[in-house]
Amino acid sequence: MTQPSLSLVDTDPAELAVDAIVIGLHSQPDEGGALLPAAGAESITAAFDGKLTSTLALLGASGAPGEVTKLATLGTIAAPLVIAVGLGDEPSGSAPDPETLRRGTGAAVRALAGSGTVALALPLPDDEDAPAVLRAILEGALLGSYKFAGYKTKPQPNRRDPVAALQVHVPDAGDAAAAAEVTRAEVVARAVRLTRDWVNTPPNLLRPPQFADAVVAAAEGTGLTVEVLDFDQLKAGGYGGIVAVGQGSEAPPRLVKLSYVPEGVESPKRVALVGKGITFDTGGISIKPAAGMWEMKSDMAGAAAVGATMLAVAALKPGVAVSAYLAMAENMPSGTAYRPGDVITMFNGKRAEVYNTDAEGRMVLADAIARACADGTDYVFETSTLTGGQVIALGKRIAGLMGSDDAVERVRAAGAEVGEPAWPMPLPDEVRKGMESDIADISQTNSNLDRAGHMLQGGIFLREFVADGVEWAHIDIAGPSYHTGEPSGYWSKGGTGVPIRTLLSVIDQLG
Ligand code: BES
Ligand code: MN
Ligand code: ZN
């Protein structure tokens, strides 16, 4: 579904002839929780002649973050509807924190599905925080309007289409920095929305060849260089991990590489992005239980995220050389499937002994990481729905983060800033010891199939395939890449697009 149009306005919000206006609402803990309209809502508050907060309170508003309260304006202002979104306690500074605004804006715009044009009159500080706050509002609005198109064959009578047009109130609609934020938000949101679409696509419709074709089609005309390796080329090229996992499926594996080189930058820093693209993970011969297996259609979320990040990179043109490696395979049990006990030679020549075919992600990533290092890079940022252990340890919002100090700190800091938290985890020697193999260089999991340090075993395995001197980070997004509950904030059900905004921020910082 297409993204809403986005524009800046500096007309008095009370005079905007739109279908609805979004304002922010705080509670004041020192005043017994009394409501306080957020900055930006002044003229609307004035038009209600002292009755705005009392009416919102009557309607049950409390100012809690993400709460949405709709109020008919009955001619007090030009727009027929005000929607107040809770932004939590009155902020100590000039504006609430960006993530609170990003989530609140997302919730408000989603609640307004069915409206044509919506204006946002939300708090914007006039200090150095202004760009980050505006960015949060713009991203929240564009991502909150996302809805997967789906496959229903009959028109839905009560269906409300996402908001078509967004107008964001700013002090000066002609400001060049604000206009640049609009352009950036449109690019970033398009990447996130495309990733959500890919993740939400059923696994019968997005098997490795189709996924590769979709990525190639999306990259067309962007200026990115594209390389696709098919099954025969992967076999001939020594990509033992991708071949092992992919050989059990009738739909053969692919390795897709996308590259961007900045113009006019002499010896730019080189960044490699690597993503796990298992279009469906049955577990293979070590088959998974039936319950919830369907969710493994999202096991390509890492590859989707790094592919879409490249589309944003091509548009934003940072001063860094960036390549992405998308390792695509379908993990199926069959007469040609790889088995527990197999010893597989990876792209960098290292041999791994397989204990559990359900640990397939690290098999395909080992090749992709080794290939990225062979091509030459300063950094590897790899992201994957790698372990259930990540979800157990950190839950559904916070990614697991492992790797070398500099790369880990870059991802941690960027993730915290953009609202995609990632928590640094250790790579302990004793966990590596548990992965000694009697007959190969490393075993793919703890050789006793002991789940202690489950998430860490994944990071430790991948470390073997990073070349010396390369800074690297592994971002385990098993939880945060896929949202199973009801829509909340700027997250819809299904794919979230994590960690695209983190990767873009890390790349920005390196440029
Ligand atoms: N794709 C799964 C991990 C996963 C689990 C992602 C839940 C999202 C939600 C991965 O391939 C897997 O099966 N991992 C195994 C590893 C084990 C066999 C060492 C796991 O987590 O149990
Ligand atoms: Mn698996
Ligand atoms: Zn998997």
Q: Tell me the pLDDT tens digit for each residue of 312-366.
A: 999 999 999 999 999 999 999 999 999 999 999 999 999 999 999 999 999 999 9
Q: Tell me the pLDDT tens digit for each residue of 40-70.
A: 999 999 999 999 999 999 999 999 999 999 9
Average model confidence (pLDDT) across the chain: 97
- CB atoms under 10 Å from CB of 283, counted, come to 18
Across the range 232-237, mean pLDDT stands at 98
Find the residues whose C-beta lies inside 6 A of ligand 1: 281, 296, 299, 356, 358-361, 385-389, 391, 445, 478
Tell me, in angstroms, the distance from the centre of ligand 2 to residue 498's CA.
Answer: 19
Across the range 132-154, mean pLDDT stands at 97
Q: What is the pLDDT of residue 93?
A: 80
How large a percentage of the chain has pLDDT more than 90? 95
Which residue in 362, 410, 432, 501 is the catalytic one?
Answer: 362
Q: Is the pLDDT of residue 127 over 80?
A: yes
Q: Are strands 494-495 and 482-483 parallel, antiparallel or unpaired?
A: antiparallel
Tell me, in angstroms, the distance from the centre of ligand 3 to residue 118's CA.
Answer: 40
Q: Is the pLDDT of residue 95 over 90?
A: no
Site of tokens 């306005």: 9
Rounded CA separation 268/376 (Å): 12
278 CA: nearest ligand 1 atom? 1
Output the CA angle 211-215-217, nearest 5 degrees.
115
Q: Is 288 tagged catalytic?
A: yes
Reference 463, options 375, 385, 370, 400; nearest CA is 370
Output the CA angle 2-319-365, nearest 5 degrees.
70
The answer to whether the Cα torsion of 482, 508, 510, 103 is positive or negative is negative
Architecture per CATH, domain 193-510, reads as: 3-Layer(aba) Sandwich (3.40)
Across the range 122-126, mean pLDDT stands at 94
Rounded CA separation 500/192 (Å): 7
Q: What is the pLDDT of residue 227?
A: 98
Strand, helix or coil for residue 410: helix
Q: Is 257 tagged catalytic?
A: no
Whether cis (ω within 30° of 0) applies to the bond prior to 499 is yes
Q: Is the pLDDT of residue 192 over 80?
A: yes
CB 324 within 8 A of CB 209: no
Strand partners for 118: 20, 166
Counting ligands in written order, the one closest to the CA of 455 is: 1
CB 252 within 8 A of CB 231: yes
SS (H, E, C) 245-262: HHCCCCCCCEEEEEEECC
Q: What is the pLDDT of residue 424?
A: 98
Q: What fold does the segment set 5-174 form as a domain?
A: Leucine Aminopeptidase, subunit E; domain 1 (3.40.220)
Number of H helices, E strands in the chain: 15, 20
The answer to whether the Cα torsion of 289, 290, 292, 295 is positive or negative is positive
Rounded CA separation 314/377 (Å): 18
> Boundaries of CATH 3.40.220.10 in the chain?
5-174
Strand, helix or coil for residue 76: coil
Q: Is the pLDDT of residue 94 over 80?
A: no
Rounded CA separation 400/403 (Å): 10
Q: What is the pLDDT of residue 430?
A: 96
> Boundaries of CATH 3.40.630.10 in the chain?
193-510
Strand partners for 352: 344, 442
Nearest CA to ligand 1 atom 9: 478
In terms of pLDDT, which residue wins out, 121 or 126? 121
Across the range 197-205, mean pLDDT stands at 98
Q: What is the pLDDT of residue 16?
A: 98
Q: Is the pLDDT of residue 436 over 90?
A: yes
Distances, alpha carbon 42 to alpha carbons 37, 140, 298, in Å: 8, 22, 44
Tell me, in angstroms, the distance from the centre of ligand 3 to residue 224's CA.
Answer: 28
- Pocket perturbation via mutation, ligand 1, pick of 358, 450, 498 by most ligand atoms within 8 A of CB: 358
> 447 falls in which pLDDT band (50, 70, 90)?
confident
Q: What is the pLDDT of residue 304?
A: 99
Rounded to two decimals, the pTM is: 0.98
The answer to whether the Cα torsion of 247, 498, 199, 483 is positive or negative is positive
Q: Is the pLDDT of residue 7 over 80?
A: yes
Q: What is the pLDDT of residue 158?
A: 86
Rounded CA separation 38/122 (Å): 7
- CB atoms under 10 Å from CB of 319, counted, come to 14
